[in-house]
Amino acid sequence: MKHIVKIMALLVALSAVWISLLQTSVLPKSQTWLLPLYFIVSLGCYGLLMVGVGLMHFPTCPHEAILLQQDVVEAKEFLKGKGVDVGTD
């Protein structure tokens, strides 16, 4: 299932719960009106948490790093051939 479909389904479900809470007066109206704000703040915290977890488990690609270093060496040699000063290693 696409992420947008999941997000839209979640938003529809939460909207239905919120509207039903407004209609039934289970919670005081002053608290019920703040529920979307709490949801947005919670969603932001969840997003930051997922970014942090993703950074902690960032995959390393040693083969790609070797290829990148080879590309850098080739680029330096090419630029030196054109007369560009690329610094020293």
Q: Is residue 48 part of a domain?
A: yes
Query: pTM (2 decimals)?
Result: 0.48
- Look at the alpha carbons of 67, 56, 41, 6 in this order and tell me if their dihedral is positive or negative: positive
pLDDT digits (tens, 9 = 90+) for 62-89: 888 899 999 999 999 999 988 888 876 5
Number of independent structural domains in the chain: 1
pLDDT at 1 over 70: no
Among 58, 51, 89, 57, CA closest to 73: 89
The answer as to whether 86 is a domain residue is no
Domain-located, residue 87: no
Query: Is 43 part of any domain?
Result: yes
Look at residue 46 and tell me if it is in a domain: yes
Tell me which residue range forms the domain holding 49.
Answer: 3-81
Q: Are 71 and 64 in contact (CB under 8 A)?
A: no
Angle subtended by helix axes 3-24 and 35-56, to nearest 10:
150
| 51 found inside a domain | yes
In this prediction, residue 55 has a pLDDT band, given cuts at 50, 70 and 90, of confident
Q: What is the mean pLDDT of the chain?
A: 85
